[in-house]
């Protein structure tokens, strides 16, 4: 009986969502009176000290350090993780509910006949001998408390739902042997914006809509985002018009995010857009139309012209940051 | 070539979300039901396009749901597809649902199984991966483009902050999202034709569900928007920093 946490990485570094998953898994282990361990498939950059992840509460990290595993193959990954669950005797497995987690966790669940809660937002309730996990449902409009009845339980944790908690400690690295299965999926090419905070992991997001009138006006959005250390996003019409790349599109048909701060500029707030951002902790709306539906979902707002308001916001942030 | 498209019934995007029976059941009264948008707009439409390109393609739809789903299935058949299979069960456990789909898929020997990226009600994004594992097939999650050349599929899928192009031999399971296809509106010929298409109900295989909904909760209501005058954005920044502690 232990808690096994899947550690996701890209560009040689462990992702922030995995630090959340480690902190979350360690807390569950504490709740259950057991230990937390990690599993990492692939290699990290030379300067990344894997043992230091012990400070998030894991005692051991199982690593399969083949470079070929730096490309996620869901079928092979599921097999490796499932075998590790068997050999370590883990009864709870934690993934991040990100793109990697969505590819691998369901496969592991089916392979182990383990109940899966995808999109958890809180620690499980393990009192009264049950195991109940709260998750988002109805595209952020409600929560469901899901009871798991299987001996092995799998949880995919939503990003920005559990704080990273660092303490003291060092993890022992245990080498993991992997099956020599040839991947059935051949990766032909990848394109990835490097060095940027992925939108799903960003704590602060500045987003622009049709109200900005054209791609040439995104300079102020980017400047405000840069000053705040925020990622940039956009609404569907903006992505459809190719003013901004599709991977910035948040909303029902784009990606769903839950940052600490979401600043929507020139976005009216259609229900499909809200479905992708309504889990944000603080929502700020800048719109010249006082009737924009977004104001109903906002915490703070300014009814005004973005072209006048945003430059003043930039000045204020500059002043604040000195 | 045989394609199976998994579809699900969901409340309309704009439906009011409320619960009854001591917050254990979704209040379905008066709710408009639709085909889960990702299943319809992307998975089903792309499958129809593949069939239009190669008319010998057999296209089946599957849903795991009670009999009251049939109007939704007919709506899907109005867009396209040869027949639909309804596994007669009502469950929200993804393992249970995936096991039922895998059972039908195994018997039907499909080359291609499509799902939407997730349902807009339970947001699990799990069925495709589970079906693939149960059938020991590769799974491409969150595809934004799908092309077929003989029995080799070229699929573009979303990865963190970018995309990846994959090649995979059929059979394969793919979950579809925006980019794979464009939404279609059924025409009158399709609607009339759908009435006579076979809609088979089959009984579920014996599978133990692994999860259950204990209760639902609505998020606490927002306090309401605090408006700052347009001539004083500095005050907004101050509030975000000092009051909301958002950065």
Instruction: Choose the mutation target among B116, B133, B153, B171 for the interface with A, i.e. most A CBs under 10 Å.
Output: B133
pTM (whole model) above 0.90:
yes
Residue B187 lies in a domain: yes
Residues A226-246: tens digit of each pLDDT: 999 999 999 999 999 999 998
Question: With the CA atoms of A250, A255, A260 and A263 taken in that order, what torsion angle do they form, in degrees rounded to the nearest 10?
Answer: 0
**pLDDT tier, A144 (very low <50, low <70, confident <90, very high otherwise):** very high
**Helix, strand, or coil here: A143?**
strand
- Count of CB atoms within 10 A of residue B90's CB? 11
Please list every residue in chain A whose beta carbon sits closer than 8 Å to the beta carbon of residue B164. 187, 189-190
Q: What H or E segment, with its residue span, contains residue A146?
A: strand A142-148
Cis peptide bond N-terminal to B171, omega within 30: yes
**Predicted pLDDT of residue B143:** 97
Query: Which residue segment(s) compose the domain that B202 sits in?
Result: 2-218
A&B contacts, CB < 8 Å: 275
B57 vs chain A: nearest CA distance in angstroms? 23
**pLDDT tier, A195 (very low <50, low <70, confident <90, very high otherwise):** low
Of B99, B139, B237, the CB nearest to A313: B237
DSSP-assigned letter for residue A99: H
pLDDT of A304 higher than 80: yes
A78·B213 Cβ contact <8 A: no
Residue B121 lies in a domain: yes
Domain ranges in chain A?
Answer: 2-175, 199-321
Please list every residue in chain A whose beta carbon sits closer than 8 Å to the beta carbon of residue B126. 102, 105-106, 109, 116, 118
Residue that is written with structure tokens 């230990």 in the block: A35
**Helix, strand, or coil here: A17?**
helix
Q: Could you tell me if A150 lies within 8 Å of chain B, comparing CB atoms?
A: yes
Of B11, B225, B244, the CB nearest to A295: B225
Longest dimension (CA), chain A: 61
Domains A2-175 and A199-321 belong to one CATH topology: yes
pLDDT < 70 regions, chain B = none
Of A114, A297, A309, the CB nearest to B210: A114
Residue that is written with structure tokens 């960003």 in the block: A202
Of B11, B161, B213, the CB nearest to A247: B161
A118·B142 Cβ contact <8 A: no
Residue B230 lies in a domain: no
Residue B27 lies in a domain: yes
**Predicted pLDDT of residue A129:** 77
Residue B106 lies in a domain: yes
A47 and A14 in contact (C-beta within 8 Å)?
A: no
Of A102, A145, A185, the CB nearest to B138: A185
pLDDT of A128 higher than 80: no
**pLDDT tier, A182 (very low <50, low <70, confident <90, very high otherwise):** confident
DSSP-assigned letter for residue A200: G
The total number of structural domains in chain B stands at 1
Q: Could you tell me if A103 lies within 8 Å of chain B, comparing CB atoms?
A: yes
Residues A49-95: tens digit of each pLDDT: 999 999 999 999 999 999 999 989 999 999 999 999 999 999 999 99
Residue B141 lies in a domain: yes
Residue B108 lies in a domain: yes
A116·B94 Cβ contact <8 A: yes
Strand-strand pairing, A142-148 and A58-64:
unpaired
pLDDT of A114 higher than 80: yes
Nearest to A72 by CA among A35, A98, A38: A98
In terms of CA atoms, which chain A residue is nearest residue B132? A107
Of B13, B137, B216, the CB nearest to A272: B13
B236 and B228 in contact (C-beta within 8 Å)?
A: yes
| Complex prediction ipTM | 0.95
A144·B98 Cβ contact <8 A: no
**Predicted pLDDT of residue A194:** 64
What is the CATH classification number for the domain harbouring B48? 3.40.50.620
Please list every residue in chain B whose beta carbon sits closer than 8 Å to the beta carbon of residue A118. 94, 123-126
Q: Which CATH number applies to A2-175?
A: 3.40.50.620
Q: What is the mean pLDDT of residues A19-29?
A: 98
Of A141, A193, A302, the CB nearest to B228: A302
What's the gap between Cα A16 and its chain centre? Answer: 8
pLDDT of A215 higher than 80: yes
Residue B223 lies in a domain: no
Mean pLDDT for all residues in chain A: 95
pLDDT of A19 higher than 80: yes
Q: Which CATH number applies to A199-321?
A: 3.40.50.1220
Q: What is the mean pLDDT of residues A238-262?
A: 93
Please list every residue in chain A whose beta carbon sits closer than 8 Å to the beta carbon of residue B14. 271
Q: What is the mean pLDDT of residues A262-288?
A: 96
Q: What H or E segment, with its residue span, contains residue A314?
A: helix A306-321
A298·B225 Cβ contact <8 A: yes
Instruction: Choose the mutation target among B37, B39, B129 for the interface with A, i.e. most A CBs under 10 Å.
Output: B129
Please list every residue in chain A whose beta carbon sits closer than 8 Å to the beta carbon of residue B10. none
pLDDT of A97 higher than 90: yes
Q: Output the DSSP codes for chain B.
A: -EEEEE--EEE-TT----EETTTTEE--TTPPEEE-HIIIIIIIHHHHHHHHHSTT-EEEEEEE--GGGHHHHHHHHHHS-SEEEEE------HHHHHHHHHHHHHHHT-SEEEEES--TTT----HHHHHHHHHT--EEEEEEEEEEETTEEEEEEEETTEEEEEEEESSEEEEE-TTS-------HHHHHHHTTS-EEEEPPP-----EEEEEEEPPPPP---EE--TT-HHHHHHIIIIIS---
């Amino acid at each position: 009986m232990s808690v096994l946490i899947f550690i996701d990485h890209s560009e040689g570094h462990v992702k922030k969502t995995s630090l959340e998953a480690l902190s979350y898994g360690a807390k569950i282990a504490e709740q259950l009176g057991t230990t937390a361990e990690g599993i990492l498939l692939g290699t990290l950059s030379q300067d990344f000290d894997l043992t230091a992840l012990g400070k998030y509460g894991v005692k051991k990290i199982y690593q399969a350090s083949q470079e070929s595993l730096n490309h996620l193959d869901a079928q092979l990954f599921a097999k490796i993780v499932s075998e590790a669950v068997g050999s370590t005797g883990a009864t709870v497995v934690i993934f991040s509910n990100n793109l990697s987690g969505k590819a691998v966790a369901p496969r592991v669940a089916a392979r182990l006949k383990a109940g899966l809660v995808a999109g958890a937002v809180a620690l499980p309730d393990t009192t009264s001998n049950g195991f109940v996990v709260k998750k988002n449902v109805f595209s952020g409009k409600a929560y469901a408390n899901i009871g798991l009845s299987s001996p092995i339980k799998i949880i995919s944790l939503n990003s920005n739902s559990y704080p990273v908690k660092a303490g003291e400690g060092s993890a022992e690295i245990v080498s993991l042997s992997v099956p020599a299965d040839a991947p059935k999926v051949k990766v032909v090419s990848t394109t990835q914006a490097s060095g940027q905070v992925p939108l799903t992991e960003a704590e602060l997001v500045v987003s622009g809509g049709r109200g900005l009138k054209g791609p040439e006006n995104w300079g102020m959005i980017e400047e405000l985002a840069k000053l705040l250390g925020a990622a940039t996003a956009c609404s569907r019409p903006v992505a459809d018009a190719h003013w901004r790349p599709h991977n910035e599109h948040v909303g029902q048909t784009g990606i769903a995010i839950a940052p600490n701060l979401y600043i929507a500029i020139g976005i009216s707030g259609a229900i499909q857009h809200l479905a992708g951002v309504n889990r944000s902790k603080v929502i700020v709306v800048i719109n010249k139309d006082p009737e924009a539906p977004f104001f109903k979902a906002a915490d703070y707002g300014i009814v005004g012209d973005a072209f006048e308001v945003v430059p003043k916001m930039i000045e204020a942030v500059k002043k604040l940051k000195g | 070539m045989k394609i199976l498209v998994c579809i699900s019934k969901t409340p309309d995007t704009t439906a009011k979300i409320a619960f009854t029976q001591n917050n254990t059941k979704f209040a379905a009264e008066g709710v408009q039901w639709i085909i889960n948008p990702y299943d319809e707009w992307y998975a089903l439409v792309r499958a129809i396009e593949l069939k239009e390109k190669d008319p010998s393609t057999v296209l089946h739809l599957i849903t795991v749901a009670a009999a009251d789903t049939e109007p939704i299935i007919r709506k899907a058949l109005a867009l396209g597809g040869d027949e639909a299979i309804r596994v007669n069960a009502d469950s929200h456990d993804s393992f249970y649902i995936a096991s039922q789909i895998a059972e039908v898929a195994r018997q039907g020997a499909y080359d291609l199984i499509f799902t939407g990226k997730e349902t807009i009600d339970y947001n699990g994004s799990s069925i495709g991966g589970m079906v693939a594992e149960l059938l020991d097939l590769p799974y491409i999650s969150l595809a934004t483009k799908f092309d077929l050349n003989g029995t080799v599929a070229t699929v573009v899928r979303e990865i963190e902050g970018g995309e990846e192009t994959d090649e995979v031999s059929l059979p394969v399971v793919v979950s579809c999202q925006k980019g794979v296809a464009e939404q279609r509106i059924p025409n009158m010929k399709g609607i009339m034709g759908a009435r006579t298409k076979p809609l088979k109900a089959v009984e579920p295989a014996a599978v133990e569900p692994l999860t259950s909904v204990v209760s639902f909760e609505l998020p606490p209501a927002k306090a309401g928007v605090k408006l700052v005058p347009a001539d004083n954005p500095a005050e907004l920044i101050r509030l975000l920093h000092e009051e909301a502690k958002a950065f």
